[in-house]
Every structure is written in C-alpha cells, then in structure tokens.
C-alpha cells in the first residue's frame, strides 16, 4: 500500500460507533493507576504487561478475549481513574482523526469501591466532556448491561442511564458471554430502555448463531447490531437487515481474536458491503484488540480490497446510524461530506 493512500486513511474524518472504555486503557495508564490505587500488577514492565491486556490472533475464544478485561477493570474503580481514561481515550481517537465516537462501558463493573451507577456515568462524562471541549471530538456514551448480570440489576442500570438522556448518554447495549446467556433473558430490560426512548444496539451473532440477531432486532428493539458476523448463515434475515437498514458494527481484528471468524480473509464484511448491507468498521477495544481505526482500514484494504471511497461511504453509514441528536448529526454529516469531497472520496 502506497504512502499516499495510508495518509488518506489516517487523515480522513472517521466515526467510531463501537468501542469499549475498559478495553481501551493505555498500558502506561494501567501502570500509573495501579500505583495510585496500591494494586499489585503481575509484572511492571509495560512490554511484559502486554500479554495480560491484549488478545493476539492466537486467542481461542470470546471467553479468553473477555479475560483480558480483568486487569483494567481493577484499575477503574474511582472517580479520577474513570475521568482520566475517558479523557485519554478521546485523545487517542482524536489522533486517529476520529471526529465522532460513541464510547460504551458497563457501570456495574465499576462499583467495587462504592461508586453508584449515576456517579460512574457522571465521571466518565466529565472526562469525555473535557476532551470534547479541548479537542473538538464529538463524543457520546452507550451504557452496557452485561448478559451475565441479573435482570433486576440491569433494569436499575437502564433507569439510571435514562436520567442522562440529552446529557451525553445516547443508547444502551447488551454485551458479555453470548454463548452462555442468550439475549431473550433480557427482553424486559430492553423493553424498559425502549420505553424510556433510549436507542438500542446489541452484541449478537458474534460467538453464537444468527438467531440471536433475529431475537435482538425483533424483541430487544435493536436498531444496530454489534458484530453480526453470523448473519451470513441466514439468507432471509440478511435480506431483512438490508431492507430495514439495520446497521452492523463490525470489528474485524476483534472478530479474528474471538474466533467469530477463523481469519481475516474469512471475514464477511466485504460480502455484506457488496450486497448493500450497511456495515461500519470499528475497533471494539484499542488495547485488548491492539488496534486503531486506521489499522483496521489498512488491513481491510489489503485483504478485502476496499477502496478509500468505500471507507468514506461506511463512515457516512455510521454517522447516519449514530445515536447522536439531530442538529449535531446533520452538522457532522455535512462536515464529513465536505471533507470527503475535498479529498476526492465522493462520487462527483
Ligand atoms: O466483543 C465483545 N463481545 C462481548 N462482550 C464484550 C466485547 N468486548 C468487550 N465486551 C465486554 O463488555 C464489557 C464492558 O465494556 C467488558 O468488560 C467486556 O466484558
Ligand atoms: Zn464490543
């Protein structure tokens, strides 16, 4: 790939719809937070710490992938650590020319030292708001319910999140171990979120089959699907997803690591795109997946032959499907279109 193309991939304005806060903490920050909080790390050299935080392509399953969140989560139990990592994540994305991002996290995983769900959301917002003011990156939050958590606790999370509608929280998600906990367990949780007017995206068809995508759309009110790799197994559902403009948040590196796909060349993203399904490219987790949005684009270009114009198109899909409120969404769509036009990425 030529330097000029690599430069375009880096410089083009990008939208990121699917990125987890706890999976995107800088290794150096983990070391510094562990020191501040008096936590013992298995090793102190940042390079030696990598295997504890990063899932390589040799990772065997979603379960192994999820084990990499333990260490960062231990360091994310205080107001200041939440504010700091939220700020730094926007800073890292800003360096990658991400101009709009939806950051997601599960409040129930940050309560070990007594913070409430409301406090946790406020501290993350303090970090993203500060970053938005200083760097100009528009940032919104998606609140995650974990599949393994009881319905009554997840209902409380939804209730707490609803108080932040219009104040930075734009949606709800369901994440975690898809093999052991099918989505239907949480129908009531997402019924509640829907009633509050919170838009919904659900991790589905990643480690388990296409039925979970169907269930998430039909009964959990999902407007977007996290990953959706297994959609290819159900032709009728695929047609439905295409016709109803359900957007897929695909995360290729993560999908190879969790073994949602065997390899990069087996990834269905190009096939979906060519069939007219609205796919978007995302990182999932900067640290756990060891990637950036630009790196994802580079590999997709090398292996699946995407063009720079097709990346522009997928970014416009992402913005259109974002949970951002309207005047701001239109402003960003215009900004992206103008930039792409100047860069020669849009059909004249
Ligand atoms: O790709 C994924 N699939 C399912 N769950 C995930 C993925 N990435 C992260 N998490 C889960 O979401 C939690 C909150 O951010 C993480 O702690 C992890 O358990
Ligand atoms: Zn995810």
End-to-end CA distance of the chain: 25
- Which of 175, 181, 205, 208 is the best mutation target for the ligand 1 pocket, counting ligand atoms within 8 Å of the beta carbon and taking the most? 175
Domains of the chain: 15-340 (3.20.20.140)
The reply, when asked if residue 22 is annotated as ligand binding, is: yes
Helices (H), the chain: 3-11, 27-36, 46-53, 62-66, 70-74, 79-95, 117-135, 151-162, 187-195, 211-219, 235-243, 252-257, 269-274, 293-304, 308-321, 326-342
The reply, when asked if residue 344 is annotated as ligand binding, is: no
Cα distance between residue 43 and residue 155, in whole Å:
38
Give this prediction's pTM: 0.98
Mean pLDDT, rounded, of the chain: 97
CB of 204 within 6 A of ligand 1: the answer is no
CA distances from 236 to 242, 249, 269 (A): 10, 20, 18
Tally of residues, the chain: 348
Q: Residue range 156-161: average pLDDT?
A: 98
Cα distance between residue 238 and residue 139, in whole Å:
30
Question: Among candidates 27, 127, 138, which has minimal Cα distance to 81?
Answer: 127
Cα of 275 vs centre of ligand 1, distance in Å, is 28
CA distances from 58 to 27, 65, 118, 263 (A): 20, 10, 38, 10
pLDDT given at position 127:
98
What are 185-220's pLDDT values in tens digits? 999 999 999 999 999 999 999 999 999 999 999 999
What are 86-114's pLDDT values in tens digits? 999 999 999 999 999 999 999 999 999 99
Ligand nearest to the CA of 18: 2
Beta-strand pair 138-146/169-175? parallel
Catalytic residue among 16, 132, 178, 206: 206
Cα distance between residue 204 and residue 211, in whole Å:
9
224-227: strand order across its sheet: 14-20, 98-105, 138-146, 169-175, 200-204, 224-227, 247-250, 279-281
| pLDDT higher than 80, residue 348 | no
Banded pLDDT at 346 (limits 50, 70, 90): confident
Contact present, 283 and 293 (Cβ < 8 Å): yes
CB of 23 within 6 A of ligand 1: the answer is yes
3-state helix, strand, coil in the chain (%, to 5): 55, 15, 30
Residue 91 annotated among the catalytic residues of the structure? no
Q: Please identify which residue in the block is written with the tokens 């004249």.
A: 348
| pLDDT higher than 90, residue 47 | no
CA distances from 79 to 20, 39, 118 (A): 18, 16, 11
Q: Residue range 300-317: average pLDDT?
A: 98
Cα of 24 vs centre of ligand 2, distance in Å, is 11
- DSSP bridge partners of 250: 281
What are 170-187's pLDDT values in tens digits? 999 999 999 999 999 999
**What is this model's ipTM?**
0.99
CB of 175 within 6 A of ligand 1: the answer is yes
Dihedral, 120, 64, 145, 216 alpha carbons, nearest 10: 150
């Amino acid at each position: 790939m030529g330097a000029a193309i690599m430069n375009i991939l880096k410089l083009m304005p990008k939208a990121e719809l699917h990125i987890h806060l706890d999976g995107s903490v800088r290794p150096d920050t983990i070391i510094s937070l562990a020191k501040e909080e008096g936590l013992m790390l298995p090793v102190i050299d940042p390079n030696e710490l990598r295997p504890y935080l990063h899932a390589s392509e040799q990772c065997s399953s979603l379960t192994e992938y999820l084990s990499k969140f333990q260490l960062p989560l231990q360091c994310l139990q205080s107001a200041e650590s939440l504010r700091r990592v939220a700020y730094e994540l926007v800073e890292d994305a800003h360096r990658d020319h991400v101009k709009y991002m939806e950051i997601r996290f599960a409040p129930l995983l940050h309560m070990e030292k007594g913070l409430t769900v409301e406090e946790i959301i406020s501290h993350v917002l303090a970090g993203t708001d500060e970053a938005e003011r200083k760097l100009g990156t528009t940032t919104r939050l998606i609140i995650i319910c974990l599949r393994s958590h009881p319905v009554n606790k997840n209902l409380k999370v939804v209730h707490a999140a609803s108080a932040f509608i219009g104040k930075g929280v734009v949606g709800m998600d369901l994440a975690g171990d898809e093999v052991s906990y099918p989505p239907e367990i949480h129908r009531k949780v997402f019924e509640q979120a829907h009633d509050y007017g919170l838009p919904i995206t659900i991790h589905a068809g990643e480690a388990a089959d296409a039925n979970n995508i169907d269930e998430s759309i039909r009964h959990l009110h999902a407007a977007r699907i996290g990953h959706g790799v297994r959609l290819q197994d159900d032709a009728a559902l695929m047609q439905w997803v295409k016709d109803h403009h359900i957007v897929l948040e695909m995360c290729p590196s993560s999908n190879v690591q969790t073994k949602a796909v065997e390899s990069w060349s087996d990834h269905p993203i190009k096939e979906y795109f060519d069939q007219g399904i609205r796919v978007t490219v995302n990182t999932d987790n900067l640290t756990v997946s060891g990637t950036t949005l630009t790196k994802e684009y580079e590999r997709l270009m090398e292996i699946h032959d995407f063009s720079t114009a097709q990346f522009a198109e997928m970014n416009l899909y992402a913005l259109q499907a974002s949970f951002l409120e309207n005047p701001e969404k239109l402003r960003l769509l215009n900004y992206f279109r103008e930039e792409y036009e100047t860069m020669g990425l849009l059909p004249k």
